[in-house]
Homo-oligomer: A and B are copies of this chain.
Amino acid sequence: MSLPGQLNPPTRLLLGPGPSDVHPRVLTAMATPLLGHLDPQFLEMMLETQQMLRDAYQTKNPLTFPISATGMAGMEACIVNLIEPGDKMVVCCKGFFGQRMIEVAGRTGAELTVLNQKWGEVFDLNVIRETLQRVRPKVLGIVHAETSTGAHQPIEELGKLCHEFDTLLLIDAVTSLGCVPLHIDTWGVDAVYSCTQKGLSCPPGLSPISFSARAEEALAKRKTKVQSWYFDLTSIRTYWGSDRAYHHTAPITMIYALREGLRLLHEEGLEPRWARHKKNHLALKAGLQAIGLTYTAQEGNQLPQLNAVKIPDGVDDLAIRKRLLTEFGIEIGGGLGDFKGKAWRIGLMGYNSRPNNVYLILGALEQCLTGAGVKIQPGAGVAAAEKVYLG
């Protein structure tokens, strides 16, 4: 074949479930020449990155660092380190990523109990309590921000509940870190994983994790080796800890990116960051409702950063998304699993949570839906959003 030309991708606005657009400062950071992965200056940057990550997670956990792979690797890393064959685990499933957790845990020899909730809804603590009492699992896994439905699971009281039954609480914060409140220590979360390509405005490639003292103790008490060498935290922590022992070659550029994404987060401040996401969500929501779109997640538990809405009857999912992409340069997400062909997912994450993006997607959606025969009062979406911003 002839050699492909110079990299020259079309300009896109990534308003799907992630990856989201990378902040320009992060893009610049990635063009920085490498340090060696054992260079004293790089080890210093690792410490800085870890501390900013702890602050982002609101934790003092020593075992806090990024796994050298994408978010789903963080899920696998947490599960294979906490679970040994025969251990009991409860997975609370209310969407695609809960199902994913079942798939991953199913390969560890865990004795699995699955709690199902309707897609778009969240779990009631009493249901979980009953299951914990009956099963007494070693680990309970639950998704904080279910990216497939846009449902926002309350976690505040869950750690305390799990600890009553000597259960470790594992949460999936892939879509929540950097977007909505997340208090690992206060909430008593024992293990958490996330990603870089959503709230942190970096590209995909790392999965920041954190383990509590309880989770570290479980790790120390293992009778068997962790089934994955690459994800074995008992070894990886010797590189991220004071030993700095070689395990694998750290993805230096991605750590440059994460460091910059975390600097941006803390320059803005966690509270202002969360407030910004909420404000832009409320404006988008007002606009979406004004053009006749309703959320798939239950009222009161809707994620600000991931707005999943039902596709109106008779509207062609793919045709609309294709028009958004080619004509407006906007990517939004389609539905996953049960919601395939039935939902659109509009992300306003990190750098992308901005009023101009809200206005743009509302204007574009109005054009596309009107073109598909949906009756919309012209300009209704943008006007409704503006009303929210002007208070």
The chain A residues found within 8 Å of chain B, CB to CB, are 1, 3-4, 6-7, 9-12, 14, 16, 18-19, 21-22, 27-37, 39-42, 45, 48, 51-52, 55, 68-73, 76, 103-104, 106-107, 195, 197, 203-205, 225-231, 246-254, 256-257, 259-260, 263, 266-267, 325, 331, 336
A18 touches B230 (CB 8 A): no
Partner of A197, one of B14, B76, B226, B249: B249
B31 touches A12 (CB 8 A): no
Q: How far is the CA of A38 from the CA of B256 in the complex (A)?
A: 25
Q: Which residue of B lies closest to A19 (CB)?
A: B34
The answer to whether A36 and B9 touch (CB under 8 A), given A230-B69, A251-B204, is no
This chain: how many copies in the complex? 2
Interface SS of chain A: loop
Residue in A30, A76, A107 with the greatest tally of chain B CB atoms within 10 Å: A30
The answer to whether A204 and B249 touch (CB under 8 A), given A10-B41, A21-B33, is yes
Partner of A9, one of B12, B32, B203: B32
Q: Which residue of B lies closest to A51 (CB)?
A: B1
The answer to whether A251 and B35 touch (CB under 8 A), given A3-B263, A41-B10, A266-B3, is no
Which residues on the B side are within 8 Å of A253 (C-beta)?
A: 22, 30, 203-205, 253-254, 257
Distance (Å) between the CB of A103 and the closest chain B CB? 6
Partner of A103, one of B48, B229, B231, B252: B229
Partner of A249, one of B18, B22, B254: B18
Q: How far is the CA of A291 from the CA of B72 in the complex (A)?
A: 50
Which residues on the B side are within 8 Å of A7 (C-beta)?
A: 29, 32, 45, 256, 259-260
The answer to whether A9 and B42 touch (CB under 8 A), given A205-B253, A225-B107, is yes
What are 7 of the A-B contact pairs (CB < 8 Å)?
A4-B52, A14-B34, A22-B34, A30-B253, A39-B331, A205-B205, A251-B254
B107 touches A228 (CB 8 A): yes
Q: How far is the CA of A32 from the CA of B31 in the complex (A)?
A: 9
Q: How far is the CA of A205 from the CA of B37 in the complex (A)?
A: 12
Partner of A14, one of B36, B107, B336: B36
Which residues on the B side are within 8 Å of A69 (C-beta)?
A: 68-69, 73, 230
